């Protein structure tokens, strides 16, 4: 797919000149031979793969027929270079989705206990996997502690403890990208909005932060505090009190999953204060509506 710059007021706007209709894109890869070509490219060593080597790996004897299918992919999912064929991003994405099991796996997993207690009732927590999404829930009071997409491939060859750890790491990285304005799905521009509502969400929070991609529409929501997991002042505040945030799942930190520690100080534009108590002290973090940290202050207890 090629794009050309658009002249005018918006210097960053791009116009698609040879775009592929989504239905046509799915039709192109909905063929066993073409999918086999993409899988062969994936399995190959680094570097472009020659026509003859690619055909041999796919196992098609008819050269003309193989070339027909290869050319259908070229330009959209595969790029032809002087020394062979290689992935374009879209082709690699298709194969990654197949490997992740998003297209062809529908595993079931019984709820299992995870580290930590519910911020609302101090009851035990459990992980629940359903419809390719994993959520952390309290079976006693029903409070949610986050629900996010988790491809089926993430369950393979992992114990339940390892699944929970992988989920924690995935959520951290998803929100780090989103808060930095990059969509974790398509790399488009991600917008951040503070939301005050009584509508239910996966956290049950009346004050939350929504991230939405202006390009593909992908969305994420969280408590405002989740953005602070890797902030230097927050990390240092915990380290000085014997806590390593890298070793604490996000759902064990109430300020990451609840709005009880978030105060709306100003609106239009938004100013939020997240208060993090620990060992008798409190770290107060002030952020704007884009979740940029404006100020940090430690208030020591008596």
Domain assignment of residue 212, yes or no: no
Lowest mean pLDDT among 78-87, 93-102, 146-155, 238-247: 93-102
- Cβ–Cβ contacts within 10 Å for residue 159, how many? 9
Residues found in the chain: 302
Instruction: Indicate the residue among 70, 100, 130 that finishes a domain.
Output: 100
User: In the predicted model, is pLDDT for residue 4 greater than 50?
Assistant: no
Task: Give the residue from 221, 230, 224, 213 showing the smallest Cα distance to 144.
Answer: 221
pLDDT band at residue 19 under the 50/70/90 scheme: low
Instruction: State the Cα angle at 270 between 268 and 273, rounded to 5°.
Output: 150
Domain assignment of residue 68, yes or no: yes
250 or 91, greater pLDDT: 250
What does each C-alpha distance from 151 to 84, 114, 167, 265, 279 come to in angstroms?
32, 19, 10, 38, 38
Domain assignment of residue 169, yes or no: no
CATH at residue 78? 1.10.10.10
Domain assignment of residue 292, yes or no: yes
Burial of residue 174 (CB within 10 Å: 0-12, 13-18, 19+) is buried
Q: In the chain, which ranges are continuous DSSP H helix?
A: 22-29, 32-43, 51-58, 63-73, 89-100, 160-179, 232-239, 254-257
User: In the predicted model, is pLDDT for residue 291 greater than 70?
Assistant: yes
User: In the predicted model, is pLDDT for residue 278 greater than 90?
Assistant: yes
| Structure tokens given for 274 | 């997240």
Domain assignment of residue 24, yes or no: yes
Q: Which of 2-6, 25-29, 204-208 has the highest mean pLDDT?
A: 204-208
**What domain count does the chain have?**
2
User: In the predicted model, is pLDDT for residue 8 greater than 50?
Assistant: no
Task: Give the residue from 121, 137, 129 showing the smallest Cα distance to 158.
Answer: 129
Cα gap 1→18, rounded to integer Å: 6
On whether the CB atoms of residues 62 and 71 are closer than 8 A, the answer is: no
Domain assignment of residue 36, yes or no: yes
Cα gap 224→192, rounded to integer Å: 11
Domain assignment of residue 37, yes or no: yes
pLDDT of residue 21: 56
User: In a 3-state reduction of DSSP, which class is residue 152?
Assistant: helix
Matching residue, tokens 């005018």: 8
| Domain span holding position 31 | 3-100
Residues of the chain above pLDDT 90, percent: 52
Matching residue, tokens 């509508």: 199
User: In a 3-state reduction of DSSP, which class is residue 253?
Assistant: coil
Instruction: Indicate the residue among 45, 65, 100 that finishes a domain.
Output: 100
On whether the CB atoms of residues 177 and 160 are closer than 8 A, the answer is: no
Instruction: Indicate the residue among 100, 116, 140 that finishes a domain.
Output: 100
Domain assignment of residue 179, yes or no: no
């Amino acid at each position: 797919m090629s794009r050309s710059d658009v002249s005018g007021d918006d210097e960053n706007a791009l116009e698609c000149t040879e775009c592929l209709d989504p239905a046509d894109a799915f039709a192109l890869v909905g063929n066993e031979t073409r999918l086999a070509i993409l899988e062969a490219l994936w399995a190959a060593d680094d570097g472009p793969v020659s026509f003859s080597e690619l055909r041999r790996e796919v196992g098609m004897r008819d050269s003309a027929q193989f070339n027909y299918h290869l050319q259908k992919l070229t330009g959209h999912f595969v790029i032809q270079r002087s020394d062979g064929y290689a992935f374009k991003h879209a082709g690699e994405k298709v194969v990654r989705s197949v490997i992740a099991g998003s297209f062809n796996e529908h595993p079931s997993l019984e709820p299992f206990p995870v580290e930590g207690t519910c911020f609302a009732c101090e009851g035990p927590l459990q992980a629940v996997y359903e419809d390719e999404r994993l959520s952390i829930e309290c079976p006693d009071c029903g409070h949610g502690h986050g629900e996010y997409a988790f491809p089926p491939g993430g369950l393979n060859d992992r114990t339940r403890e390892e699944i929970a750890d992988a989920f924690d790491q995935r959520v951290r990285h998803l929100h780090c990208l989103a808060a930095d304005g990059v969509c974790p799905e398509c790399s488009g521009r991600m917008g951040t909005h503070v939301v005050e509502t009584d509508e239910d969400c996966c956290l049950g929070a009346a004050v939350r932060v929504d991230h939405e991609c202006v390009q593909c529409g992908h969305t994420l929501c969280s408590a405002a505090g989740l953005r602070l997991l890797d902030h230097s002042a927050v990390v240092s505040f915990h380290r000085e009190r014997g806590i390593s945030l890298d070793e604490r799942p996000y759902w064990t930190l109430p300020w990451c999953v609840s709005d009880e520690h978030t105060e709306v100080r100003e609106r239009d534009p938004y100013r939020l204060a997240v208060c993090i108590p620990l060992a008798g002290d409190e770290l107060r973090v002030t952020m704007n509506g884009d979740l940029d940290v404006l100020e940090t202050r430690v208030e020591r207890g008596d």
